[in-house]
Amino acid sequence: MKSKKKLVSRNSKFIFTLIFIILIVAGFFYTRDLFTSKARNVKISNITSTSVTLTWVTTKKNAGIVLVKEGSNIGNSWKDFFTARRYYDDRDIYITATKTVINAERRYTHYVTINHLTPEKKYYFRLSNGLHIWDIKDVNQKKEWYGIDNISSFQFTTPAISSSGLTLPQTVYGNLEDQKALAYSDGIIFGQIYSVNDEGEVDIQNKSRIISTFVNDDGGWVLDYSLEKNGFENNKDQIYLYAHIENKSDIPGQFENITSGSSIVDLFDYDRTQSLRPSFLLSLSKPVSAAGDPVCCALIISGRKNVLFDYEEAGACTTCGECYKVGTQESGGTLLEVGSIKPRGDNDAERRNNCESMDRLASKGLPAGSEDQSSSSSNNNSNSSENSFSGACNTSLKDEDFTVSNIDKSQFVDYAKRLGGGGTQADKCYNYVVCKSKQYGINPALGLSIWVHESAASDYQRFPNVEDMGIHCYGGAGNYPAYPCNQTPKENLKAQTEMFGLLPHTQCQSGGSFNITKWATGFWTGNCSETSYGEKYVDDLELQWSVYGKGAFPNWLKNAGTAKPNLPCDQVASSTPSTPSTPTTPSTPSTPSTPSTPSTPTTPSQNTGEKCCAFILKGENVYRSEKTTSNSCADAFAKGSSYTSGNISGTIDYGVEIGRKEVQVIKPACCAMIVTGKDNVYFDYVNDKICNTCGDCFPVGRTVAGGRVTAVGREVLTGANDNRTTCESIKRPASSGVPADTPVEPVFSNKCSGTQYDIECKNYLPVPKGENAISAPYGENTRCLDPNVKPIEDGITNIIISKENPKVFTKLLSTVQAEESYVKSVSGSVVTFTKDGIYNIEIGDLKVSNVPINSDGKYRFYQEINEERGYQSSKDKALTFKNKNEIKAVKVEDGFRVELNAGYNFITINYERPPMSIITTPANPTQITAASVLNIGNIDEIKVTYLSTYADGKWANGIRPRDDKKPGLLGNDFALLPGQGYMIISNSDLKGGMALILPGKITSSKVSVEVKTGWNFVGLTGKIQPPSSLKFLEKLMKEHGLAKVNITQWDSSKGLFESVQYDGEIVYGDDYNLNNASGYFLYTNKAFTLK
């Protein structure tokens, strides 16, 4: 027996030991990723006076946590971890009326909103995954050149409270999918607005702050940019969209127009297996030496194929050689060579990003070893203005002479602008690169592709000292000597295209046919063995080609037999380059001060001068315009009033005031020129209205009439003599010279009266195309409310029913209310019911669960035949009935009505739900969610197109249905809470029998709402007594000691905001009555609890 006990004891010890070992091993594998994961690309976005968003990416799946302190720095100790305020990933937070639930998940991307902040305060933060804490020195902030800026320190300061007026939401939206239409659920979308000049070039210096959102589980996303739209009112301005996806290298973004109120964007349709640029982990802890200027250090390290660039701030070291010693260990290898570049940018953040986003193979060598050598070795006009083109590009070459049949030039130029920005020369020098390619027998399609790949088409502003065609080392050919690596001409398109053309391009080739991958390997690396680089290079070219190419990707690069060396590519280059214009310096933002009276968007223009009014006549599809001296366009051309002009007459349906636009028209000019080889002055009459001076059209040095222009002036003709015959018949010896080149007198044409405009949609409102509205619109016009197919307005809601029991919502209750007949009547296929509520419907062996029923509505139940969304009478099968007993309707929950107008609706929903409900959230089974409202509103057809809320001084990104009619929604779901305001856009009136039925009951109970300083979007709960908006404000001022308060409502009949403001002495605006169904914007000078 003893031996048996000992055996049991030994077995027990063995089992316990084995379990302990298993737990240790499991714990190791569970936590390994938390300790070994690295963080990179930390960005700050969505900045308001009370909140910011922090985003980053980790190399392994981690939880996302941010530690925050106000006014004092945070260390990396466990004490700091537990004493700092902690914020979690937005995707892990579920907020209810009574609690907040955290359900942390591991992801590659991390999206954390820091809220409840104080305006104009400095905050410090650290990143964490629960076990590890990262400081700025621990993360990789190197970004791709096309990326949106990362931050340079783990701190931020909240701005002052904005006193600007309210704006309507303005959104872009889309799906984040791969090439096989599989959704990315672990992704973040970033946006940044850039101004665009009159030439259509993006000004990369004039940009907004960063905005962001995360994708939902189906890859859908919505991004509202109204917060940053102020100051970017040009209808050409664009938003740059960019993404972090899973643990990949950053995905290149693209520019999109922002002229409409809501537009779909197709982004990032990339192969998941695509090999993108590698990211390097940087060690930012460097020894501090003698004081010096900021410097960008370039390092060649053993074991690394790429040069490593690192930015050193002022004072870190005098030269890069002081910070980095050749022979020492750096970033996992031995430091072999050190070089330096003068960093460009207005501050440390810009200089760091410009430096550390550079990408160069180590085989191509370092930049020059010092600033002096670097600048002298450029061999170009590098002192040119940032917005000028300093290479020898002949811009007078004509499009018709240099077309490339298999390239869409407009798409090519647009692609180059996406890669670079306002500095690209893709449009100006396109013909020149085609010409130089043909001179040397280079395939023009590949010449252009390599040009845009290597330098974003000579974008010297974005990429200073760039090698236009990628010629980095040169063995010598033609008139060009041998150049050591990094000593070839830079920012010199003429030299780079000629050196490229002189190369035989036979390196690494074998056999008779041209192998572009082998060529790219040799061109990029200088050897023929590292084929992975050649494959990557060709992949990049083919990806570009998919944007602007026509047909198959080119299969040859050079054919000397097709060379045309006598093409005059450089013949008409100007002898004196024009002085580049100085870039406009962005205006300095005004110093934040105590918020002034919030502007009221509804206040009409008080100008007493002429106004230009644009209006739509009922039944027409154009805007007409007329001048008026009335106080407003709404007075002069009121909705419903009659309009007659000539043989045009009608009733005004909709109108808006636009800017009176006077357009400068250039008159024709008689140009006089001295031309080599001609004894007389040469006269040419220019009537294409493009020259301010004759020198603009005929610059000195240009070839005209077989000679070169040496002098130019303008002969002033007047009256009937101002014509081509008079001009070109003038005889004058060249020895007499030319008159002064005086500017052509412009003629101004007012475009208001009698002008017609096409209609375009902005913010779901129709506006005259190409014009900016300067007042709130008036009247009714619903043409812009529907981004999808217009719903059928027959007053019948169509419901799919089948044997599989489709459920309108996700959960069916096992308990139901008493089974009684709720069917009121049947007539053919149309059914009516007796009470509002949520129902389960059975018709024979067909059924559908959780259907919202309106007792004043009409319903048709049908079987889906053609698998297209919505009922089609000719294709789907509608059920018909002889008596109401054929239908079993079981009510599972009470319902209440929400009525919507076509257009914008600003509402609140004060409701209560029983503990067991059919619509649930992870945190609270009694909440209605935004997704639920859209599912109810669109149970038949798309009628509710957008739902959002407003908090922390900005619109939330919101949620909307897909445009492609597939199941699912775009944007991120959220709970609807009593006492909060919400904005819903509907494309039709949903009232009476078409009103939404939501589950639950309306409640009159009071709900406490925390009101922050600045703008808040609230609903009023309980009894409002008296209902006067002014009395309400007076009560708030008295109870909470406020100095200023404003309440603003949306008047859907006018399509504008109306405000009442009170400062204790003066009342601004007209009083109006409040109610419990509307959402109101409340502005206050301090925080309090609204009860």
Is the Cβ–Cβ distance between 947 and 875 less than 8 Å?
no
If one counts every other C-beta atom within 10 angstroms of the C-beta of residue 35, the result is 11
CB count in 10 Å sphere of residue 845: 7
Is there a domain that residue 714 lies in?
yes
Does 1035 reside within a domain? yes
Q: Over 60: is that where the pLDDT of 273 sits?
A: no
**Confidence (pLDDT) at 29:** 57
Are residues 448 and 494 both part of a single domain? Answer: yes
Number of domains in the chain: 9
Cβ–Cβ under 8 Å, residues 1060 and 1049 = no
Range from 142-151, 665-674, 809-818, 912-921 carrying the lowest mean pLDDT: 809-818
CA distance 825 to 833: 7
**Of 890 and 360, more confident:** 890
Q: Are 425 and 412 in contact (CB under 8 A)?
A: no
Q: What CA–CA distance (Å, rounded) separates 746 from 692?
A: 8
Tokens of 1073: 């009555």
> What angle, 0 to 180 degrees and rounded to 10, lies between the N-to-C axes of helices 531-548 and 409-419?
120
The reply to whether 281 falls in a domain is: no
Distances (CA, A) of 318 to 313, 322, 330, 341, 1058: 10, 7, 19, 13, 61
Per-residue pLDDT tens for 839-855? 989 998 888 888 999 99
3-state secondary structure of 992: helix
Residue 324 — left, alpha, or beta (φ > 0 → left; ψ -120 to 50 → alpha)?
beta
Computed over every residue of the chain, the mean pLDDT equals: 76
Decide if pLDDT at 822 tops 80.
Answer: yes
In a domain, 347, yes or no: yes
What is the average per-residue pLDDT within 510-534? 83
Q: State the Cα–Cα distance between residues 888 and 871, nearest whole angstrom.
A: 22
Predicted local distance difference test score (pLDDT) of residue 810: 35
Separation CA 204–CA 192 (nearest Å): 10
Whether residue 253 contacts residue 240, with contact meaning beta carbons closer than 8 Å, is answered with yes
Residues 830 and 690 in one domain: no
Report d(CA 84, CA 75) in Å as an integer.
Answer: 10
Please say which residue of 975, 997, 1019 terminates a domain: 997
611: CB partners within 8 A, 6+ apart: 605, 627, 628, 629, 630, 632, 633, 636, 657, 660
Same domain, 349 and 370: yes
Q: How confident is the model at residue 432 (pLDDT cuts 50, 70, 90)?
A: very high
Q: Which two tokens stand for residue 527?
A: 């050897």
Residue 96's nearest CA partner among 810, 983, 979 is 979
- The answer to which of 204-213, 692-701, 810-819, 876-885 has the lowest mean pLDDT is 810-819
Burial class (CB in 10 A: 0-12, 13-18, 19+), 95: middle
Residue 168: CB partners within 8 Å, gap ≥ 6?
Answer: 226, 261, 763, 904
Q: Could you tell me if 414 and 492 lie in one domain?
A: yes
Task: Tell whether omega for the bond before 1026 is within 30 degrees of 0, i.e. cis.
Answer: yes
Looking up residue 243, the CATH number of its domain turns out to be 2.60.40
Q: Is the dihedral of CA 43, 47, 49, 50 positive or negative?
A: negative
Say whether pLDDT at 604 is over 50.
no
**pLDDT bracket for residue 391 (50, 70, 90):** very low
Query: Given this model, what pLDDT does residue 997 score?
Result: 92
- When pLDDT is cut at 50, 70 and 90, the band that residue 359 belongs to is low
pLDDT per position as a tens digit, 927-964: 888 988 998 888 888 888 889 999 888 888 889 888 76
Strands 703-704 and 707-715, how do they pair?
A: antiparallel
pLDDT at position 380 over 70: no
List the domain range (segments joined by +) for residue 1068.
Answer: 1004-1091
DSSP tag of 733: B
| 154 class by beta-carbon count within 10 Å (0-12 exposed, 13-18 middle, 19+ buried) | buried
Q: Using the 3D structure, point to which of 500, 533, 562 is the last residue of a domain.
A: 562
Coil, helix or strand at residue 455: helix
Long-range contacts at 792-797 (CB < 8 A, ≥ 24 apart): 792/870, 792/941, 793/988, 795/857, 795/858, 795/993, 795/994, 796/830, 796/858, 796/859, 796/860, 797/854, 797/857, 797/858, 797/859, 797/860, 797/939, 797/940, 797/994
First to last CA, the chain: 76
Distance CA(240)–CA(257), nearest Å, equals 9
Same domain, 320 and 252: no
pLDDT tier at 550, thresholds 50, 70, 90: confident
Which of 217-231, 316-330, 471-485, 519-533 is predicted with the least confidence, judged by mean pLDDT? Answer: 316-330
Backbone angles phi, psi at 83, to 5 degrees: -95, -25
In a domain, 1081, yes or no: yes
The H or E element that residue 708 is part of is strand 707-715
Taking a C-beta distance cutoff of 8 angstroms, is the pair 354, 343 a contact? yes
Closest to 448 measured CA to CA, from 475, 423, 415: 415
User: Which of 527-541, 548-562, 592-606, 645-659 bottoms out in mean pLDDT, i.e. has the lowest?
Assistant: 592-606
Q: Give the three-state DSSP class for 852.
A: strand
681 and 698: one domain? yes
In terms of domains, do 790 and 919 share one? yes
Q: Please say if the pLDDT value at position 278 is more than 50.
A: no
Long-range contacts, stretch 783-786, CB < 8 angstroms, 24+ apart? 783/759, 784/261, 785/902, 785/903, 785/945, 785/985, 785/986, 785/987, 785/988, 786/942, 786/945, 786/987, 786/988
Residue 604, domain member (yes or no)? no
Number of H helices, E strands in the chain: 16, 64
Q: Per-residue pLDDT tens for 763-819?
A: 567 778 877 777 667 776 666 654 444 445 678 898 888 887 555 443 333 333 445
Sign of CA pseudo-dihedral 1019, 1024, 1028, 1031:
negative
Note the pLDDT of residue 531: 81
CA distances from 797 to 365, 467, 614, 620 (A): 70, 64, 38, 30
pLDDT at 1010 > cutoff 60: yes
Closest CA to 336 of 370, 298, 372: 298
**Residues 29 and 67 both lie in one domain:** no
Q: Within 10 A of 175 (CB to CB), how many other CB atoms are there?
A: 25
Give per-residue pLDDT as tens, 962-999: 876 677 888 888 889 999 999 998 888 888 999 999 98
Query: Both 705 and 853 in a single domain?
Result: no
Residue 623 clears pLDDT 60, i.e. is over it: yes
- Dihedral of CA 693/699/702/703: which sign? positive
- Distance (Å, rounded) from C-alpha 148 to C-alpha 43? 8
Task: Note the pLDDT of residue 277.
Answer: 24
**Statement to judge: residues 22 and 64 lie in one domain:** no
Confidence of residue 835 (pLDDT cuts 50, 70, 90): very high
Sequence-ordered list of residues with C-beta below 8 angstroms from that of 57, at least 6 positions apart, any chain: 39, 40, 41, 108, 109, 110, 244, 247
> Where does a domain end: 971, 997, 1023?
997
* pLDDT value of residue 854: 94
Together in a domain, 674 and 631? no
Torsional sign, CA 931, 935, 941, 944: negative
Based on the fold, state whether residues 342 and 423 are members of the same structural domain.
Answer: no
Most confident among 23-27, 353-357, 700-704, 764-768 (mean pLDDT): 700-704
**What phi, psi does 65 have (nearest 5°)?**
-135, 140
Using only the alpha carbons of the chain, give its radius of gyration: 34
Does residue 575 form part of some domain? no
Q: Are 113 and 154 within 8 A, CB to CB?
A: no
Specify the residue for token string 């889906």. Answer: 864
Q: What is the pLDDT of residues 874-931, one digit of tens each?
A: 788 889 998 888 898 988 888 999 999 877 889 999 888 876 555 444 444 578 889 8
- Measured CA to CA, the distance from residue 1010 to residue 1090 in angstroms comes to 6
Domain annotation covers residue 580: no
How much is the pLDDT for 1068?
77
At 626, is the secondary structure helix, strand, or coil? strand
Residue, of 358 and 838, whose pLDDT is higher: 838
Residue 603 has pLDDT above 70, yes or no: no
Stretch 313-324: mean pLDDT: 68
Structure-model confidence comparison of residues 668 and 792, the more confident one: 668
